[in-house]
Chains A and B, each alone.
Chain A
Amino acid sequence: GDSVTQMEGPVTLSEEACLTINCTYTATGYPSLFWYVQYPGEGLQLLLNAKKADDKGSNKGFEATYRKETISFHLEKGSVQVSDSAVYFCALSDPGNQFYFGTGTSLTVIP
């Protein structure tokens, strides 16, 4: 079945460091891919998404490219801020709109 595997955390970075959170997926069809962010005590917020191969999603300095050849959707940011501290979830949506989530990666950015 469809599934998502993402890099385990926790990840701790200094402010202005580069961030990469790896995400790979397994899907039988042509899924849409998502990154959601969860701040402490809150629900999930859509960070970015991509609907087909080679699409790039971007928001708030974060980027991820849907790469079919490597079945990946890695999240990147060139310079993280303290306010980026959160848990990040990679997810895919199959053609039936069933969502599959990764286990989440906790990011802590220290000043």
Chain B
Amino acid sequence: GAVVSQHPSRVICKSGTSVKIECRSLDFQATTMFWYRQFPKQSLMLMATSNEGSKATYEQGVEKDKFLINHASLTLSTLTVTSAHPEDSSFYICSARALGLAGTDTQYFGPGTRLTVL
């Protein structure tokens, strides 16, 4: 099946630093990738939709200047948490849309990145 990787899997940083998280589709091209945030014991919250070659579409309440998204190629999207603060600590998960049989779309999820801001 389609595989999505994320790097790093875990990161600990000091308050005020910026952190970049990479999301890669390993064996398929993804014109669209999605970034989610998951708080402890809660469901996934869609943060933004990332389309290759264009600006990301952010969900209401998500600061685009805080969470910079770059979808540089059909296999790579990056999320940069700028000037991270402890409240940004969370589990960030990306997914990529793969065009399946008969034009049906399926999203495949990465393993997630645990961000801890001290």
Contact = CB atoms under 8 A, between A and B. Distances in A.
Interface string A47-78: 00101000000000000000000000000000
B43 A103 contact: yes
B44 A101 contact: yes
A49 B106 CA distance: 10
B97 A97 contact: yes
Of B34, B43, B106, chain A has the most CB atoms within 10 Å of the CB of B43
A22 interface: no
Contacts of A46: 1, 106, 108-109
Contact of A32 (B6, B95, B97, B104): B104
Contacts of B81: none
Contacts of B112: 42-44
A93 B112 CA distance: 20
A44 B109 contact: yes
Chain A interface: which size bin?
A: 20 to 34
B70 interface: no
Contacts of A26: none
Contacts of A35: none
A79 interface: no
B43 to A, nearest CB: 5
Given A99-B95, A101-B43, A101-B44, 4 more contacts: A41-B114, A43-B109, A44-B95, A46-B109
The 10 closest A-B pairs by CB, nearest first: A43-B112, A43-B111, A44-B109, A97-B105, A101-B43, A103-B43, A101-B44, A43-B109, A43-B93, A104-B43
Interface of B: 1, 6, 32, 34, 41-44, 46, 93, 95, 97, 104-112, 114
Interface of A: 32, 36, 41-46, 49, 51, 89, 93, 97-99, 101-104, 106
